[in-house]
Structures are given as C-alpha cells and as structure tokens.
A and B are shown apart, each in its own frame.
Chain A
Amino acid sequence: MAKFKRTLIPISGVVYGDIIYWCTILASIMVVIGTVETFITEKNVIPPSYLLSSVLDGNSVSQIWKGSPFGAIPHGHWYLGILPTGEGVTTAGLAFGVFGVIPAIFVSAYFLWRSHNGFFAILALVSAAITITSMLGVIPLPIG
C-alpha cells in the first residue's frame, strides 16, 4: 500500500456533507419541537396515544388512517396541510431531513463538473432526478 505525504479532500465532498449535515441538525430540532407539541397540547389532529396504540396493536397502515380523523390513507405531502400541529411539524421535520440530500447533490455536482469529473457530476444529477421523482410521488406505493 503506497503512502502519500499529503491528502487532498475534494470540495465536492465537503459541500455535499456540510449541506446534508446542517439540514439534518435543523430537521432534528423540528422533530423535537413537533414531538413536544404533540404531547403537551390537546389540539392534535390525530391523538398520539391512538397512533401509538394502533401501531403497537399491529394494525395496518390502512386501518390506522381509516380509524383516524382523516378517515382514509392520506396522499402526497399531507403533513403540510396540518403543519401547525405536532404530528405535522414532526413529519415535516423528518421530510426536511430527507429533502436536504437534493440541494446537496446539485451543489456537489457543480463542483464535480468544475473539477473535470463530468461522469460523476452526471451520475449525481441522475440520482437527484430519481430522488425528486420519488419525492413528487409520481409512482405512488400500491397500498390502500
């Protein structure tokens, strides 16, 4: 194994990591706020005790949502519609943490392109396109 005297850490990796890192930290704070709100207020769209007991009882996703005030499985980015509530903020926090990957890929792809790594920049953009397609719910899961 050869050993070099110095290493170069690519900027494309550093910006990718940093964007995701800080989005995840921010998402965690949102999730904490949402969890506190869920338990210390009584104005929840879906009571947390109902959700937890349904999940622990082994109810299916369809059964859980049918028994909730929603009455049916929600679709799309349903949590944005109940954003002020604890469940809405918690799920939005989780979604934001996942979303952070998308801008990170674009910025990283730019730096990869500039450093003459066009193939990897294109791969990055392809993975971003797939992730965005998935986020937009173009191909919904066949449940319910």
Chain B
Amino acid sequence: MVQLLRKVPELTILIAVTIIAYIVIEFAAKVGTEPAIGAFSSIDLIIISFVISTAIAIIAVIAGVGGGVIFTPIMLAFTSIDTLIIRSTGLVVAMFSGLVSTGPFMRKGLADVKLVFFGAVPIIVGGLGGAFSAIILSSYMGAAGDAIVRLLLGVTLVLIALLFIFGGSNTEYPRPRKIDALGQRLRLRNTYWEESLHERIRYRAVNVTLGGFLFFAVGFTGGFFGLGGGWAVVPVLNLVMAVPLKVSAASSGVLLAKGNAAAIWPYITVGALIGVVAAPWMLGQVIGGIIGAHILASIKAGFVRNLLIALLLLTSVKLISRGLEGLLGIDIPIF
C-alpha cells in the first residue's frame, strides 16, 4: 500500500483530502449532527458509506463487475430507500470505480479500447432502454412495481451467480478453436503484458456478432436494475468472445463506466441523484477504484470471485423474499 501511495501521488492527495474533510466535518459541522438512524448522525452515515464504498470498489474492480452489482441489491434488499434513488446512486457506484480505473488500465494495456467502443453502443442503448422501462414500471405500478423489480433482480442475481459458478473455470487464457470473420476484418486482436506470468499474451476476439447482441441485453438489464451492467460483460468477453480474463475484467470496468455515463444523466436532470447521499459513495469508488486497478495487474481473482458468488446468492434470497412479500402481502421471516 505504501508503495502504491508513492507510485500514485494523486491517490495520496485524494485520500488525505478526503480524510481531512471528514475530520473537519466531524468537528465543525453546523448541521447533520443529530441522530438520523439509531445513534448514528447524518455525518456518521456519510463516513460509514465512504468506508463501505471503498471496500466495494476494490472488490468490484478486481472482479471486473462494477460496484453496482454489490451496492444495488444490498440496498434494495435491506433498506426502505426509494428504488429510483437506489438505482441512481447504484449507477454512481457502478461507474466511478470504472471511470478512475480507465487511466491505469489503458496505460498498462490491460483494457482494449477497440473492444470498449465495440461494446459501448449496444450497452448504452440497452442501458437507456432499461432505465426508462424501470421508471415507467415504478410510476404506473407503485409498490407492486417496486416488488416486481426486487423479485426480478433476485432471480437475475441467482442466474449471475450460476454463470460465475459454472462458467468461471479454466477461462483465464481462452483458446478459440476458430477464426471469426468479423473479428478478423475489424482487427479485434491485441497483446498485453501478463505480470503474474512475466509474459506477453496475444488474443483475438471471436463470436463478435453474438457478443454485440449480448452487450445490448446486458445493458438493458443493467439499466433496468441500476446494476450498471458490468456483472455480465466479463462473461460475455471471456466466455463468448474468448478474451483473456484479465483483459475482460479491465475492459468490462471501462465499458461499464462509459455505458453508465449515458444512463445516469436522466437521473441527474430530474433530481433523482441526491448529491449528499451519492457523494461518499462516489469518493469511495474513486479511491477504491485506483487501489483495485493497481492490485488487479498482479493477483489472481479466484478469491474475489468466490466472495462475489456468496454475496450474490445471499442477497438474492433476501430480494426474492421481499419481492414476494410485496406482491403477495405475506411475511417471510428471513434475516
């Protein structure tokens, strides 16, 4: 960590500025000092949000999934906050670790700019379509709409977890058996330096057309639930398009950030992004995102993958139970 802080002075400055800011707020605040939840004041909640967000960002960047996959389901499952606000803040969480890690990933050659722009258009269009669909559902169906969103998200998370469980092995350096004509024509191929092997790895993308369609579906789901879409970009790039796992994780983060940058504006322009709520989450994502981006180059992501699977399954149980409670008017006593 000390080495990283020396290597990335802007990270040191940002961490120092943030810590000083929170100390100043803690001691000089004129508002927000009264308890908001239990014994926690608004300021305490902001500092807790920042710490949790930093941890989420490190895990999310290493796994290449975007923090929204962790943030949005947990908030929908365990809080009563309006789904629109959770989804807008979820997009911030999904986006900023990806935005800030874009720099290190591109400089190291881990993220592939052509893959990013190839996936961007279908993901953005799908993401906007998903966001509008979710809001229309919420507007017309009220509480039942929220319950449907929770239920569908719970089922989606189970599917994502299964995808990671059954599709996640032996995919670090995929070996495509065929040459894809479109991929060949578009020159969707590259090399990168694999630090853990001390070797340069060459790869070429296959199943390019199918990948484009899947990116649209991923974008729609991400926009609908405020997950950000990054959860499935890694499997699409790695399992379908035969891109090495590390390049998939890095490109996924960059692609996700780019897609969400379009999807979040409608939330901002109607006041659904509450600055004071989103700010600590954004700061945590930026700091955690830089740390995660520098860690990714030198580690194996197996542990994080397992942690993510456990988290996804646990949250899906709660989401499905809350969705059923809302739709059927019953009480399901689960944690």
Contact = CB atoms under 8 A, between A and B. Distances in A.
Interface of A: 1-10, 12-14, 16-18, 20-25, 27-29, 31-36, 38-42, 44, 47-49, 51-53, 55-61, 64-65, 70, 73-79, 86-87, 90-91, 93-95, 97-98, 100-102, 105, 108, 112, 117, 119-120, 123-124, 126-127, 130-131, 134-135, 137, 139-144
B114 A120 contact: yes
Contact of B24 (A36, A76, A117, A123): A36
Contact of B82 (A44, A52, A61, A100): A61
B113 interface: yes
Interface stretch (B152-160, B195-203, B296-304): B195-203
B202 A127 contact: no
A36 B42 CA distance: 13
B102 A39 contact: no
B117 A123 contact: yes
Nearest to B115: A120
A26 to B, nearest CB: 10
B269 A137 contact: yes
Interface stretch (B163-171, B260-268, B312-320): B260-268
Nearest to A127: B120
B279 A90 contact: yes
Given A7-B191, A55-B82, A98 B121 contact: no
Contact of B31 (A44, A58, A78): A44
Contacts of A98: 95, 261, 264-265, 268
Contacts of B45: 52, 56
B218 interface: no
Contacts of B84: 60-61, 143
A14 B135 contact: no
Interface string B206-228: 00000000000000000000000
How many B residues are at the interface, by size bracket?
35 or more
A39 B30 CA distance: 6
B282 A97 contact: yes
B121 A130 contact: yes
B111 interface: yes
A142 B193 contact: no
A24 B286 contact: yes
B104 to A, nearest CB: 7
5 contacts: A17-B254, A35-B279, A93-B279, A100-B99, A130-B124
B286 to A, nearest CB: 5
Contacts of A119: 186
A43 B323 CA distance: 41
Interface string B268-282: 111111111111101
B81 to A, nearest CB: 6
B246 to A, nearest CB: 13
A25 B285 CA distance: 11
A121 to B, nearest CB: 8
Contacts of B263: 134
Contacts of A53: 36, 42
A142 B136 contact: yes
B257 interface: yes
Given A1-B203, A55-B277, A124-B120, A39 B29 contact: yes
Contacts of A24: 96, 99-100, 286
Contacts of B273: 91, 94
Contact of A1 (B102, B201, B275, B283): B201
B100 A91 contact: no
